[in-house]
């Protein structure tokens, strides 16, 4: 079995856990909150909150499988049937619904626990990559640089929110946030793709709005979308996260700069390696349409990174060491870029790089599941709870 995945001190700290969140979204407050209060009544009292969370994630996994079947190139010119994009909207909406009612289910059944937050946010970390894949398909981005930037922004944004919660102890969602307004906008985007096809996003702004500066006339809706989320990310999300972490570090007497360097060098290494591998002229990920499997491989690695931080938050532990799943990513980036700096023939061929990516994905998935299973088993054993089932004596009526 190996060494215990959690120490006795970490397990003991689980009993000090108190969930804290702030959601300032007006859409949540005045609309969706009431929808979720109604939706929770559909779920039986003997359905475990974590099972609700997992079921929600399965909807997105099913969407990704459909993407690999019908639109593996992610290109607008090779669009799938209309119902595919409607299924994306339905899958994401159901995921969001299940993701928001699991906490209500925990409270109505008296089964709230630290495991619920780990399970919930761990699934959210995996969904960051999965949702990005179907988003690229619906936009018809294909294997392109905008698709690369979509992923970089998505994972960096989620990571910053995760490390922010680690420092502040509170999950903060602003007046406009991705889990609420972002999900609604994506569902609308998927529906538009279902009605008009992904090629609609190649429409130039000049065809929609006549009086625009020349440099905007020929910018299409795809480019506008990527630029918009990029600008919003750097002007709103990043400053708020770092300000909240600065405030938390100052209140706890921690050196802010040192904490930020230590806590964020892992995501920096991750995104830099990701970017330099996929954009290397000696890589075939984009040119031979291997981007989707590449995202699955690095997405599991990202899920492990964030889950370890969430676990450290729950157990009040020091910021975790980098995951070993980063090693194949960094190695792949180095291999793909060696011919740029050393006079050698390219090491990767299209076939060998693809095989490397498939092996990376399978290995990462196996190791992630093994690690997650051991963590869940440790927590369940210590707290005397079950992960996906509710003992009959715990269920209670409304």
N-terminal to C-terminal alpha carbon distance within the chain: 42
Environment class of residue 274 by beta-carbon count within 10 Å: exposed (0-12), middle (13-18) or buried (19+)? buried
Of the given ranges (13-17, 205-209, 238-242), which has the lowest mean pLDDT? 205-209
Residue 393 pLDDT > 80:
no
What are the pLDDT digits (tens) for 67-80?
999 999 999 888 89
Question: Catalytic residue at 321?
Answer: no
Token output for 111? 């089964």
Q: What is the mean pLDDT of residues 274-279?
A: 97
At 377 the pLDDT is 95
Which of 121, 143, 290, 313 is catalytic? The answer is 121
Q: What is the pLDDT of residue 3?
A: 58
Nearest-angstrom CA–CA distance, 132 and 146: 12
Query: Which residue, among 95, 14, 6, has the nearest Cα to 374 in the 3D structure?
Result: 6
pLDDT digits (tens, 9 = 90+) for 323-336: 999 999 999 999 99
Which pLDDT belongs to residue 397? 43
Give the mean model confidence (pLDDT) for residues 338-365: 95
Segment 315-321 shows an average pLDDT of 91
Residues pairing with 75 in the sheet:
141
- Tell me what the pLDDT averaged over the chain comes to: 93
Mean predicted confidence (pLDDT) in 290-303: 96
Residues 6+ apart with CB under 8 A from 221: 200, 201, 202, 203, 205
| Cβ neighbours around 95 below 10 Å, total | 25
- Residue 264 clears pLDDT 50, i.e. is over it: yes
- pLDDT score for 1: 46
Cα 91 versus chain centre, distance: 15
Q: Note the pLDDT tens digit of each residue in 304-314.
A: 999 999 999 99
Cβ atoms of 372 and 115 within 8 Å: the answer is: no
Asked if 272 contacts 256 with a C-beta cutoff of 8 angstroms, the reply is no
Q: Render pLDDT for 187-230 as a digit per residue (tens, 0 to 9).
A: 999 999 999 999 999 998 888 887 778 778 888 999 999 999 99
pLDDT band of residue 340 (cuts 50, 70, 90) is very high
The rounded distance, in Å, linking the Cα atoms of 266 and 327 is 12
pLDDT for residue 250 is more than 90: yes
Select the highest-mean-pLDDT range: 18-27, 92-101, 207-216: 92-101
pLDDT score of 398 = 43
Give me the torsion for CA of 368, 320, 24, 136, rounded to 10°. -40
Rounded to whole angstroms, the Cα distance separating 353 from 193 reads 32
């Amino acid at each position: 079995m190996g060494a215990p995945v959690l120490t006795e001190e970490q397990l003991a700290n689980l009993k000090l856990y108190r969930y804290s969140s702030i959601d300032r979204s007006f859409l949540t407050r005045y609309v969706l909150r009431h929808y979720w209060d109604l939706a929770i009544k559909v779920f039986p009292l003997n359905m475990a909150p974590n099972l609700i969370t997992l079921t929600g994630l399965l909807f997105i996994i099913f969407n990704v499988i459909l993407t690999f079947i019908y639109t593996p190139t992610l290109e607008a010119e090779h669009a799938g049937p209309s119902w595919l994009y409607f299924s994306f909207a339905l899958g994401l909406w159901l995921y969001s619904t299940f993701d928001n009612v699991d906490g209500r289910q925990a409270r109505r059944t008296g089964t709230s626990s630290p495991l619920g937050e780990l399970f919930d946010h761990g699934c959210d970390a995996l969904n960051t990559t999965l949702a990005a894949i179907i988003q690229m398909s619906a936009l018809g981005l294909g294997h392109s640089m905008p698709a690369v930037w979509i992923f970089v922004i998505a994972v960096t944004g989620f990571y910053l929110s995760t490390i922010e919660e680690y420092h502040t102890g509170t999950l903060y969602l602003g007046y406009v946030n991705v889990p609420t307004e972002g999900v609604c906008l994506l569902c609308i985007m998927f529906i538009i793709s279902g009605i008009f096809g992904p090629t609609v996003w190649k429409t130039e702004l000049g065809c929609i709005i006549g009086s625009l500066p020349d440099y905007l006339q020929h910018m299409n809706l795809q480019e506008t979308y990527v630029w918009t989320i990029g600008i919003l990310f750097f002007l709103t999300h990043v400053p708020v996260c770092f300000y909240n972490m600065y405030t938390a570090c100052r209140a706890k007497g921690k050196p802010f700069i040192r904490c930020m360097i230590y806590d964020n060098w892992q995501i920096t290494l991750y995104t830099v390696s990701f970017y330099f591998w996929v954009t290397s002229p000696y890589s075939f990920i984009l040119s031979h349409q291997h981007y989707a499997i590449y995202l699955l491989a690095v997405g599991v690695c990202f899920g492990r990174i964030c889950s370890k931080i969430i676990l450290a938050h729950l157990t009040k532990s020091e910021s975790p060491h980098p995951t070993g799943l980063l090693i194949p990513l960094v190695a792949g980036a180095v291999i793909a870029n060696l011919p740029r700096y050393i006079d050698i023939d390219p090491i990767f061929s299209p076939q060998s790089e693809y095989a490397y990516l498939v092996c990376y994905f399978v290995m990462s998935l196996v190791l992630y599941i093994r690690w997650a299973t051991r963590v869940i088993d440790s927590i369940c054993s210590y707290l005397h709870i079950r992960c996906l089932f509710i003992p009959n004596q715990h269920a209670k009526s409304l």
